[in-house]
């Protein structure tokens, strides 16, 4: 079994989900009391949020690059960045580390294509929905992304940071997300990406107007595949 190096803490709520999913799936596949080999470096989310707000992505990339080097030195075989938004600085991490980074967009695009879909809605932080690093990588793999309006992006971003990152789950916020998903369906979306690792705390497959692609679960399961690969 390979050792998974997780760069976490962005937010702690989503890092907990990654840890649970990876270990439960490892145990399901291997049985007994088996669990995954994981090294976790959890950064201070407040520092990352401050750098996001100031637009200093180079400094944010440097923080995560240092984390990657620490995990590599500790014996990790590959890296998992337990956040969607910070894949914006994935190149800085890849340049700093001598071990592979399992990219969330690659894992999610593969899951979408396995279902035979080509156009999906994208929900996430404002950075993920509008900055291009996510949508362009999806497009390069043959998946078109349809994003909410600017006003919807602002409200989704607010809910993520002011509620979900603090584990505040509000029914009215869930209804808002489902309304946005319904509108994306009318625009031609065949499914919807939960492109922020906290959104799965609020949105579920049962209540969604579209099939859900939970990037947190998809990414975590892909890490198990990589850890157990021959």
Q: What pLDDT does 146 receive?
A: 97
Q: What pLDDT does 139 receive?
A: 96
pLDDT tens for 146-201 read 999 999 999 999 999 999 989 899 999 999 999 999 999 999 999 999 999 889 88
pLDDT(135) > 90: yes
pLDDT tens for 30-65 read 999 999 999 999 999 999 999 999 999 999 999 999
Cα separation of 106 and 1, whole Å?
22
pLDDT(19) > 90: yes
Q: What pLDDT does 57 receive?
A: 96
Q: What pLDDT does 100 receive?
A: 98
CB 123 within 8 A of CB 156: yes
Q: What pLDDT does 190 receive?
A: 98
Q: Determine the straight-line distance between the first and last CA of the chain, rounded to whole angstroms.
A: 9
pLDDT tens for 61-108 read 999 999 999 999 999 999 999 999 999 999 999 999 999 999 999 999
Angle, CA of 50, 171 and 148, to the nearest 5°: 60
SS3 label, residue 25? helix
Active site (catalytic) residues: 83, 196
CB 90 within 8 A of CB 17: no
Q: What pLDDT does 230 receive?
A: 81
User: What average pLDDT does the chain have?
Assistant: 96
Long-range contacts of 169-173 (CB under 8 A, 24+ apart): 169/201, 169/202, 173/202
Q: What pLDDT does 197 receive?
A: 84
Q: Average pLDDT in the 4-16 region? A: 94
Long-range contacts of 91-94 (CB under 8 A, 24+ apart): 91/61, 92/58, 92/61, 92/62, 92/64, 92/65, 93/7, 93/61, 93/64, 93/65, 93/68
CB-CB neighbours of 154 under 10 Å: 12
Cα separation of 170 and 151, whole Å?
20
Give just the sign of the alpha carbon dihedral 17, 158, 154, 48.
Answer: negative
Q: What pLDDT does 217 receive?
A: 95
Question: The pTM is what?
Answer: 0.92
């Amino acid at each position: 079994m390979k050792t998974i190096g997780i760069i976490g803490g962005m937010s702690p709520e989503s890092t907990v989900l990654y840890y649970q999913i990876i270990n439960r799936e490892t145990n399901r596949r291997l049985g007994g009391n088996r669990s995954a080999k994981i090294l976790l470096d959890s950064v201070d989310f407040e520092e990352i949020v401050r750098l996001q707000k100031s637009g200093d992505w180079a400094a944010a990339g440097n923080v995560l690059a240092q984390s990657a080097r620490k995990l590599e030195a500790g014996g990790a075989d590959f890296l998992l960045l337990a956040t969607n938004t910070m894949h914006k600085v994935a190149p800085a991490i890849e340049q700093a580390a001598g071990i592979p980074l399992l990219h969330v967009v690659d894992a999610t695009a593969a899951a979408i294509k396995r279902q035979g879909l080509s156009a999906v809605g994208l929900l996430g932080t404002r950075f993920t929905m509008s900055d291009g690093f996510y949508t362009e990588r999806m497009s390069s793999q043959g998946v078109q992304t349809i994003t909410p309006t600017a006003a919807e992006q602002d409200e989704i971003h607010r809910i993520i940071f002011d509620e979900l990152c603090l584990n505040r789950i509000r029914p009215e916020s869930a209804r808002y997300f489902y309304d946005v998903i319904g509108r994306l369906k009318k625009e031609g979306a065949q499914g919807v990406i939960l492109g922020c690792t906290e959104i799965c705390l609020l949105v579920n497959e049962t209540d969604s107007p579209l099939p859900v692609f939970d990037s947190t679960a998809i990414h975590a399961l892909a890490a198990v595949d990589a850890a157990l690969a021959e």
